[in-house]
Amino acid sequence: MADLSDIQARFFETIKEKLDSNFSLVHEVSEKLGISYDSAYRRLRGEKKLSLEEAILLTQHFGICLNDLLLPQNNTFVFKSYHVEPGKFNGVSWLDFILTNIQKINQAPEKQIVYAAKDPPIFQYLQFPEIVSFKFFFWEKTLFYAQHLVNKKFKAGAISDEMKKRCNLITALSLKIPTIEIWNEDTFRILMRQIEYYWVSGYFESQEDLEILLDKLEQWLIHNKKEAELGYRFLYDSEPKGIEGSYILYENEIVINDNTIHVTVGNKCYTYFTYNVLGLLCSDSKVFCDGVSNFHKTIMSKSNLISSVGEKERNRFFNKLHRNIELFRETHNL
């Protein structure tokens, strides 16, 4: 184990890394421990050791893992969890969680999201109520056994005003965040398999609802292709405007992505993993986040850049996605 003075020094350095640049470390320590600036400075300089109670207070407030400081090489990381229990999923609450995180990211002057997408990134289709309504209906009915949907069938666009409001807010904020997305062909096929499962199982209210959903999927792909061409995201059915180069899209053909999301906010980073489809694990461990970021960079170096440049590859990629919808129509005589 390292010397206690070294551990305390790293402890305060970790707190400093978590603070925004306009926050004073000595002020924050003084405030949280209820001590004078002089007493705070003595602890920062290592002249006075932190008590166990003080360490716990600071650890809990700043979300620091003491284990990382005590055993920095033991490859153990701490994650925060947003857990979704079967039968208790609430779409509005889940969107509120996403909205809160997007708001925090958006406040930083320097930020970026890197999304290795196994499923279509939710930020992409929140502008389309028909797609949103299908995804949430599918999640609630099939994965989380919502009792109020047991005898109900899917109707395209049937979502509450509360959900629409949150979807619009999340979309508006996400458009302002520089984003890199790594897709592969299976990213879209997963959604098509879910739709096919519902259609053959008789879970659509009518064939018209299916056709409305398929039409919206095609419109979404056309919109997403235009975003990739321009190099920035913009609101559907509106005049394109944005910062060129703020949206980067890669086609990955070598591995299946795992819905890993790496977020950079100023000098801090966070990594999100999905589990059980909608559950989220988040870590702000620099060692862990750096490892994920380096892996993403490796994947990108082996992938096709299809935004801003690479028109031929971009057309080929989106044509393949459109072909999935065409094959679905042909197979089911639509």
Q: What is the pLDDT along the chain (334 residues), one digit of tens a residue?
A: 457 778 888 888 888 877 877 788 889 899 889 999 899 889 888 888 988 888 888 888 887 767 666 665 667 777 888 888 877 788 899 999 999 999 999 988 899 999 999 888 888 999 999 999 999 999 999 988 888 888 899 999 889 999 999 999 999 999 999 999 999 888 899 999 999 999 999 999 999 999 999 999 999 999 999 999 999 999 998 999 998 999 999 999 888 888 899 999 988 899 998 888 888 899 888 888 999 999 999 999 999 999 998 899 999 999 999 999 999 999 999 8
Q: Are 180 and 300 a contacting pair, CB within 8 Å?
A: yes
Q: Are 271 and 278 a contacting pair, CB within 8 Å?
A: no
Q: Which amino acid is at 226?
A: K
CA distance 57 to 14: 15
For helices 52-62 and 4-18, the axis angle rounded to 10 degrees is 30
Q: Are 279 and 82 a contacting pair, CB within 8 Å?
A: yes
Instruction: Enter the tokens of residue 198.
Output: 């519902």
The answer, as to whether pTM is greater than 0.85, is: no
CA distance 265 to 256: 27
CA distance 267 to 192: 39
SS3 241: coil
CA distance 287 to 68: 10
What is the set of domains in the chain, with CATH numbers? Answer: 4-70 (1.10.260), 80-331 (no CATH)
- The conformation of residue 81, written as its DSSP 8-state character, comes to E
Cβ-count burial of 308 within 10 angstroms (0-12 exposed, 13-18 middle, 19+ buried)? Answer: middle
- End-to-end Cα separation, the chain, in angstroms: 67
* Phi, psi angles (nearest 5°) of residue 286: -60, -40
Q: Quick one: which of 102, 189, 182, 88 has its CA closest to 139? A: 88
Which helix (H) or strand (E) element contains residue 311? helix 311-331
* Phi, psi angles (nearest 5°) of residue 88: -125, 10
CA distance 113 to 269: 10
SS3 114: strand
Q: Are 95 and 163 a contacting pair, CB within 8 Å?
A: yes
Q: Quick one: which of 214, 137, 133 has its CA closest to 167? A: 133
